Every structure is written in structure tokens, then in C-alpha cells.
Amino acid sequence: MHPTMQKVARLAELAEDRGTRVKIGDTPIMLVREGDTVHAYTADCPHAGAPLEKGGICNGRIVCPWHKGTFEISDGSLVEPPALQGLTRYASLVDEGDVYVSPEPDESPPARPAADASTMFIAGAGAAGAAACAALREAGFNGRIVLAGTDAKIPYDRTALSKFVVAGDMPPDDVPPLLDPAFFSEQRIERIESQAVRLDAAKKQAELADGTIIDYEAALVCTGGIPKPMDVPRAPDARVLFLRNRDDAGAIVEALENSKAVIVGASFIGLEVASCLRKRKIDTVVVAPGKIPFATQFGERIGAMFKRLHEANGVSFRMGRNISAIERDAVILDDGERIAADVVIAGTGVKPATSFITGIPIADDGGIDVDARLCAAPGLYAAGDVARFPLPRSQTRLRIEHWRVAQQHARVAAYNMAGKRVEYEGVPYFWTYHFEKRFDYLGHVSDPDEVVIDGDLDAQKFIAYLMKDGEVGAVVACEREDATARLAEGMRATLTLDAARNLANG
């Protein structure tokens, strides 16, 4: 045994179905038991610091409670984002029933891949772009990587904008970066802050707005979406704002002082913004065409709970209504109602930013059709909000606008670009945040046949199974982080209601 190793626990005290947090000095360590072996890793998730022992253990993997970043138990390597790196590992051993862990991380140098003269081009420096940079190196690609993006010197966490920035809890410049700025220089990633204005799939060539021409072996298009404009008459001095990037969030924060706001669209982003505005005591009205928010995704009972939660916190709704005009200080609805508004925030969806691409067909919705390897054409891949991809076990393609899905795509695409053969086998996941409550959504289903709810919906402490054709198509939950962590792995297989409940209940 190494002389500096310290005794941290008794083997008999460690459960196998969850991690156990211990400390060596100030360092938090998570112990994970597999039979008579114990693995020791950093206990705080490398993504945003969640306590990993509160997550799940499933399929030989550790799943983070907050955003379901996933790691192999055997070596801590990364399996699923939004973490973009594996867990720091500490040497450990069991001796006469006592568990010993080294206080120093195990830092064996990574294998040095062979030199490579090829160029990988990534258009879009957002969720997928950052994940692709990390995954290309992780997959052993050692050549040139060019990352072109219009929006950021360093890719940042867009999801914080509608949760913390608009609420005034986080200045726009403090939004966390997705990768340590040093990563880009250490890993020789060429970042160019310029828009891709042309990508010729047949010639394998891209051109940037600053005139740079890039000839590539493989390219990844992950340019996300552009907010859809609102097609209604509006006064020239009406303030209509969108929320897609850090500048937009800053503009909303500035415009909102002592204002009345109307949010158009009861989308996740629209209602997250409503939650932020009420935190700032701003009069907030949501106008949307449907009957109940999120009814298509979650079913009517859960959608109605979201509406009640918002109403209890002072948000007014005009459901079943459209905007017919926007004046300087009001919006006019299609039934003639006039609602005072200094600021209108449009949460009316996005269109994929793909107009610069030639040589492949672009779908009617602006998306790019890809196969399970995220490949659109020889040497061309697409990921994230632009990609129309097949879910496992499904014949049809769809676009899913979720952060973790964009990064899952990017990892699959990057491995294929680096010469491996991997397919998308992930479970879609997103989280949304309203009035200090985080809701998890796993899987994908629209218009569920039945919604089975365990727990107390109105106390926002529940897990709901969205059933389709006798199977669990999706799960929505609040304050059941360990259950959704296990299901994030378990739902890779088809689950009956009983099987899903067993997994959720540990």
C-alpha cells in the first residue's frame, strides 16, 4: 500500500446502489462499490458541481442528479454530457475490510495519438460545437480543429440566460463557459469569431464572413436556431425582444426596469422568462394560442399544474389567443383586448440556421437529415437544433431542441469524424426551471395515451410516466433527481410501467 493512502471507510458500510461521499482534507471524494472493489472519484460533477452521490448508479455507470452527465464506474470516463470531461480518479484499495484512498489524483498521462494532417471544421460555437471539440480530442484526433462561431469567444452556457440572467441573479458576462478557456490553447483548437457564410458539401469547403476559406476532411454543422420573427403589424418604436444569446439577455434586463411585459408563446423559454420577471416583480402576461401550456409534451394535467404554479406567482395568461398588433405601449389581441406592455418578449420558436449550406437537401423546417451516426453526406455531419435524427428504435426523424441532446449528437458525430463507428443510442433529456423548482424530462413522446403520476403534482414532488402503446415513452419529474438519474440510463431499453417504477424507486 502507498504510504500516503488514507483510511476513509469500511467496505461493509458502502452500499452498491449509490455512491458514498467522504473527504480527505478538503477534497470531496465519492466511493463507488462494485462487489469487493471500491472506486474513488471526485465527488462534485465536473459540469456544474452537483453532488454525484445524490445521483444514480445504473448499467455500470454513475449518473449526475442535476443534468444527467454520465460516467463509467470502472474508470470514470465520460459517457454522456453535459459534462465534457471524465471524473478525476484517486487510487483506492481494500485491505482487511478497510477502504484506503490516495489523497493525490491519479494523473496518468494520456496516450499520445499519431500525428494527423487533416482538418476538422465545426460551424457553430454553442452547446454542440464545444462538445465536439472535446470529443474529437477524446476520440484521439490529433490534427487541426477549426471552430467558427458568431456568438462567443468562448462557448458559454446558454441555458443560464432564461434562468438566472434575466432574473438579475447573474450578470451576462458571468455566464459559465462550457470549457476552460485554457482548453482551447492546450488542445490547439483554432477559434475564429466569424460567421460561416458558405459550406459546399460536395467540395468539402467552407468560407467565413471574414474571408477565411477552410478546406476540410470532415465538417460538423451545429449552428443552432434563429428566432422566428413575429408576423404582426407593429409600431416602429415598439420594443420586441428575443432571447437566444447573451446580448439578447442583457438587452432584456436593461429594457425591463419598471416595465410591464407581455411574453408571446408559452414555450419552456417563455415560461422560464415569466418566472424570472415575477422574481423581479414585473407585471407579466403570457399570450399563447394553445389551451394549456406544455399539454402536447406533458399531457394536460401536468401542463395545468405549470399554469397554476405560474398563476400562484402572479403570472397572467391569455391562452387560446394570438397577437394581432403591437403598439408602443400595448399589445392588441385577436379578440380586441388591449394589454399594457412596454416590452414584448417573443418565445415563438426558432428556425435552424442552415441557409449557408449547399450540396445537400435542406428539409422544409430548415433542418438537416442525418443518420444514426449524425452523418448527412460524406464528410458532413450535423448536430443539435439543426439535426433531424432518428431516435433509437424509431424509423422517423425529428429535431429535438435540448441542450444535452445537442451535446450527445456532437459526441457521436465527433467520434465518427475521428474514424470510429458509433451511433446515437442516448435518451433525450432536458431540464427546465420555474420558481426555484427544477423539472426533468426524459425520453420523447408526443400526445401520450396516458399519464400516470406518482407523488404530489401540486407540491411539485412527483414522477410522471407518459405512456404510449403500453410503454413508458417519457418521464417528467420534480424533486426526484436520483430516480431520473437511474432512468436516464435505464430508459435506453424499452420499459413497462412496472419496470420504470422499480428503477425509479431504487
Ligand X SMILES: Cc1cc2nc3c(=O)[nH]c(=O)nc-3n(C[C@H](O)[C@H](O)[C@H](O)COP(=O)(O)OP(=O)(O)OC[C@H]3O[C@@H](n4cnc5c(N)ncnc54)[C@H](O)[C@@H]3O)c2cc1C
* Residues that bind ligand FES in the complex, under the rule CB under 6 A: 45, 47-48, 50, 64, 66-67, 69, 82-83
CA-derived radius of gyration, the chain: 24
Parallel, antiparallel or unpaired: strands 89-95 and 37-42: antiparallel
Handedness of CA 50, 55, 57, 61 (dihedral sign): negative
Parallel, antiparallel or unpaired: strands 338-340 and 330-333: antiparallel
Sole residue written with cell 460567421: 195
Which segments within 89-158 are labelled E, that is strand? 89-95, 98-105, 119-123, 144-148
275 binds ligand X (CB under 6 A): no
8 A C-beta contact, residue 137 and residue 110: no
123 binds ligand X (CB under 6 A): yes
Please identify the residue of the shown chain whose CB is closest to the bound ligand X: 126
401 binds ligand X (CB under 6 A): yes
In the structure grid, which three cell numbers stand for residue 357, read together? 449550406
Sole residue written with cell 464545444: 130
Q: Which does 385 bind (CB under 5 to 8 A by kind): ligand X, ligand FES, none?
A: ligand X
Stretch of residues binding ligand X (CB under 6 A), selected from 32-40, 106-114, 152-160, 419-427: 152-160
Measured CA distances, 53 to 86, 481, 482 (Å): 16, 11, 9
136 binds ligand X (CB under 6 A): no
At closest approach, how far in Å is the CB of 486 from ligand X?
19
Q: Which does 150 bind (CB under 5 to 8 A by kind): ligand FES, ligand X, none?
A: ligand X
307 binds ligand X (CB under 6 A): no
**3-class secondary-structure state, position 52:** helix
Stretch of residues binding ligand X (CB under 6 A), selected from 106-114, 157-165, 447-455, 486-494: 157-165
Q: Which does 489 bind (CB under 5 to 8 A by kind): ligand X, ligand FES, none?
A: none
195 binds ligand X (CB under 6 A): yes
Instruction: Please state, in angstroms and rounded to a whole number, the distance separating the CA atoms of residues 225 and 258.
Output: 31
Instruction: Please state, in angstroms and rounded to a whole number, the distance separating the CA atoms of residues 60 and 189.
Output: 33
Q: Which lies closer to ligand FES via its Cβ, residue 50 or residue 128?
A: 50
Q: Which does 64 bind (CB under 5 to 8 A by kind): ligand FES, ligand X, none?
A: ligand FES
DSSP 493: S
244 binds ligand X (CB under 6 A): yes
At closest approach, how far in Å is the CB of 250 from ligand FES?
24
Residue 437: Cβ within 10 Å count: 13
Q: Which long-range contacts (CB under 8 A, 24 or more apart) does 70-73 make?
A: 70/488, 70/489, 71/41, 73/32, 73/34, 73/39
At closest approach, how far in Å is the CB of 491 from ligand X?
16
Q: Which does 127 bind (CB under 5 to 8 A by kind): ligand FES, ligand X, none?
A: ligand X
Q: Which lies closer to ligand X via its Cβ, residue 41 or residue 294?
A: 294
Q: Which residues partner with 455 through β-bridges? A: 462
At closest approach, how far in Å is the CB of 352 from ligand X?
9
Query: Which helix (H) or strand (E) segment is 504 a member of?
Result: helix 497-504
At closest approach, how far in Å is the CB of 113 from ligand X?
25
148 binds ligand X (CB under 6 A): yes
Q: Which residues partner with 424 through β-bridges? A: none
Instruction: Please state, in angstroms and rounded to a whole number, the distance separating the CA atoms of residues 282 and 274.
Output: 9
Query: Which helix (H) or strand (E) segment is 323 a member of?
Result: strand 323-326
127 binds ligand X (CB under 6 A): yes
Stretch of residues binding ligand X (CB under 6 A), selected from 57-65, 88-96, 107-115, 427-435: 427-435
Q: Which does 297 bind (CB under 5 to 8 A by kind): ligand X, ligand FES, none?
A: none
Q: Which does 223 bind (CB under 5 to 8 A by kind): ligand FES, ligand X, none?
A: ligand X
Q: Which does 183 bind (CB under 5 to 8 A by kind): ligand FES, ligand X, none?
A: none
At closest approach, how far in Å is the CB of 167 from ligand X?
12
Instruction: Please state, in angstroms and rounded to a whole number, the distance separating the CA atoms of residues 262 and 260.
Output: 7
Alpha helices in 40-146 (DSSP H): 127-138
340 to 379: interface string for ligand X, x by CB under 6 A? -------------x--x-----------------------
At closest approach, how far in Å is the CB of 275 from ligand X?
12
84 binds ligand X (CB under 6 A): no
Interface residues toward ligand X, by CB under 6 A: 123-129, 148-152, 158-159, 161-162, 195-196, 222-224, 243-244, 269, 353, 356, 384-385, 401-404, 406, 430-432
